[in-house]
Structure 1
C-alpha cells in the first residue's frame, strides 16, 4: 500500500486527508515514480479552494511538483529507466494526476532528469518557479543584460527565482515587498535594491533607483499598483503580469501605454511547458544555471507528508521566504 493526499470537498487545509491505496501501475507512456520530496505552490491552495484555472473533480488529488526515483515504465514509455532521479514538470492534467503521494504515475513527457548539483528537496522546488521566471522574463519580457527589472512579491519562490534568472543574464533586479522586514534577505538573495510598498512610493523609488525607469516589470500582484509600474517604465518597456494577488481590479493605464509604447503581457507557465522548443530552451537555461550555481531554490521549511495540513496552513500564512517542501 502507498499513502496519497486527497480532498473530498473544497475548503481550508483541514479538507486534506491522507489515505492509503495500492501502489499504482503505469499505463502506456506513463512512469511510476517513488516520491522523495514535494514542492508546494500557491496554486495548490487555489486548486484546493476552487479558485484555480482548472477545477477539481472530487475526490481529488493535488500537487504540481515532486522529485523521485523511477520504479518502472509502462508500455511505450522509453525515456527513463529504473533508478533514474527525476523531477516532475508542471502542466499535466490535474484531474488525472498529482504529486502529493508516496508513489505517483506521471506521463513521461512531464518528467525531466534532475539537474546535477541539486538535492532532492531543491529539485522538487525548481521547475514551477524557474519556468515561470524564465518564461516571464526571458521569453515574454525580452530581458537583456544591464537592463533594470522590477520583481514584485519578491520573497515568494517565483520572485526569488526571478531575481536569480535576471542576475544570470546580467540584468539588474529591483525587488518589491510589502514591508521592510525582508529587505536584508532580499538583498542577500541578489536584489540590487528593495522597495517596501507599504512604506515607500513605488513609482518614485523605481525612478530613483533605476535613474529614469525600468525596462521590464515582472508582476505577481496586479491591482492599482500597475499604474505606478507603468509610470516608472522606460519607453518601449514590457510589463509582464503573471499573478493576481491583489483583491482589487487592475486598471489599464492607456495614456501612459500610448505615450511610452508600452507592452502589457499576461503570462502563465504553460506557455513554456506546452511549447517543445521553448521548453527545451528553458530546460537548457535552468539546468546550466543549476550546474553553475547561479540558480538555487531558496527552501524556507520542510514538512513531513504526514503534516500536510500544517504545511498548507503555513503556506497560507505568507510568512515564508522561498519554497515550502514536504518530505516523503
Structure 2
C-alpha cells in the first residue's frame, strides 16, 4: 500500500502522520500519478490548522502541487497522457484529491506539462506560484510597460513568480520583505526595488521610488491592518489584489483606500478555472519556462519522512522560494 500524509485533528505540523492508504483507481475524468515531488504551500498549513476556506474531513490528507508520472487514466481521458511527466494545478479540493502521497489521483483538467529542462523538484515549484501571480497581475490587472507594482511577502514562491511576471510584462516591481536581511537576494532575483517594511516607511519609500506617482497595483499576501499601509502606497483609483491572509487580524476596507477610490479585490486561483483563461495561463507560463525567462527557485528539499519538519520550516518564513518534498 502506498504511503500518504494524513491528519486526524486540527493543529500544527505535529498532527501530520505518514500512513498506509489504499491506492485509488482513476474514475471518469481522472488520472493516477506516481508522485516524485510535492511543492509545499501556505494553503496546506492553513488547512491543517483549520484556517483555510475549506475545512478538512477527518481523517484528511492534504497537498495541492505535485510532479509525477501518469500511470493510468479514467474514462473520457486521453490515454496518451500515460507515461508523461506532469504537474498539478491547484484547482481541486484537498478533501477529494489529497496529493501528498506516493501515489495520487487528480482531475485530468488539473494536470499540466512543463519543459523537460526542469527537474521534478523544480517542476513542483511551478503550477501554484506562476498561475497565482499570473491571474491577478496579467489576466485581471493587465500590468504593462511602466506600471509600478507593489509585491508583499516577496520571498515566497508566489512573490518570486510575481517578480518574474512583472518583469516579463515590462513593468517595475517594488518588492517588500520584513527586514533588510533578504533585500540583496531579492535584487539578485530580479526585483527592481526592495523595501524592508519593518525598517522603512513603506508609503514614503514608494513615493520616493515612483516620483510621487505611487503604485498602480499591489499584490498582497498579508491582509489585516497592513492593507491600510498598502493603500497609502497605492495611487488613486489603483487596485490591491489580496490573495493571501498571512495576518490573523480581521480585514476591513481602510479609510485611506476609500478617499483615494482604491479597489480592494479578493483573488483566488479558482477564478482562473474558465477554459479561455486557463488555456491562456498555461501557454503563458509554459512558454516562459521553456525560454528561460521564468526560473523557479527551490529553497530547500526535504525527504518524505520529514514532512512535519518541512512544514515547520515553511511556517518559519526563513525560505526564499519553494520548499519541496522529494518522494
Question: What is the TM-score with the length of structure 2 in the denominator?
Answer: 0.95
Residue aligned with 2:78, SS: coil
- CA–CA distance in structure 2, aligned partners of residues 263 and 79 of structure 1: 45
Q: Which runs of 5+ in 2 are unaligned?
A: none
- CA–CA distance in structure 2, aligned partners of residues 108 and 198 of structure 1: 44
Q: Please say if 1:236 is aligned against 2:232.
A: no
Which residue in 2 is equivalent to 1:74? 74
The CA deviation string for residues 175-231 of structure 1, in whole angstroms up to 9 with x for no partner, is: 111110000000011111111111110000001011121111111112223223222
| 1:92-107 correspondence runs (5 A) | 92-107=92-107
Residue aligned with 1:126, SS: coil
Q: Which structure 1 residue ranges, 4+ long, deviate > 4 Å from structure 2? A: none
Tell me the C-alpha RMSD between the 2 structures.
1.5
Which residue in 2 is equivalent to 1:111? 111
Residue aligned with 2:60, SS: coil
The farther-off stretch of 147-156 and 134-143 is 134-143
The 1:102–1:152 alpha-carbon spacing in structure 2 relative to 1, beyond 3 Å, is same
The farther-off stretch of 60-69 and 118-127 is 118-127
The 1:182–1:316 alpha-carbon spacing in structure 2 relative to 1, beyond 3 Å, is same
- CA–CA distance in structure 2, aligned partners of residues 325 and 255 of structure 1: 39
Preserved contact between residue 175 and residue 193 of structure 2 (Cα < 8 Å): yes
- CA–CA distance in structure 2, aligned partners of residues 81 and 249 of structure 1: 44
Which residue in 2 is equivalent to 1:62? 62
- CA–CA distance in structure 1, aligned partners of residues 248 and 256 of structure 2: 24
- CA–CA distance in structure 2, aligned partners of residues 122 and 68 of structure 1: 12
Preserved contact between residue 195 and residue 205 of structure 2 (Cα < 8 Å): yes
- CA–CA distance in structure 2, aligned partners of residues 267 and 36 of structure 1: 30
The 1:79–1:240 alpha-carbon spacing in structure 2 relative to 1, beyond 3 Å, is farther
Preserved contact between residue 73 and residue 80 of structure 1 (Cα < 8 Å): no
Preserved contact between residue 79 and residue 108 of structure 1 (Cα < 8 Å): no
| 1:115-264 correspondence runs (5 A) | 115-212=115-212, 213-254=214-255, 256-258=257-259, 260-264=260-264
Preserved contact between residue 65 and residue 87 of structure 1 (Cα < 8 Å): yes
The CA deviation string for residues 127-162 of structure 1, in whole angstroms up to 9 with x for no partner, is: 111111001111222211111101001111111110
1:254 CA drift (Å): 4.2
What number of residue pairs does the alignment pair up?
A: 326
Which residue in 2 is equivalent to 1:276? 275
- CA–CA distance in structure 2, aligned partners of residues 30 and 244 of structure 1: 31
Which residue in 2 is equivalent to 1:289? 288
1:32 CA drift (Å): 1.1
Residue aligned with 1:66, SS: strand
Preserved contact between residue 68 and residue 85 of structure 2 (Cα < 8 Å): yes
1:170 CA drift (Å): 0.8
Preserved contact between residue 232 and residue 256 of structure 2 (Cα < 8 Å): no
Preserved contact between residue 116 and residue 290 of structure 1 (Cα < 8 Å): no
The 1:31–1:233 alpha-carbon spacing in structure 2 relative to 1, beyond 3 Å, is same
The farther-off stretch of 318-327 and 114-123 is 114-123
1:79 CA drift (Å): 5.9
- CA–CA distance in structure 1, aligned partners of residues 225 and 256 of structure 2: 15
Which residue in 2 is equivalent to 1:34? 34
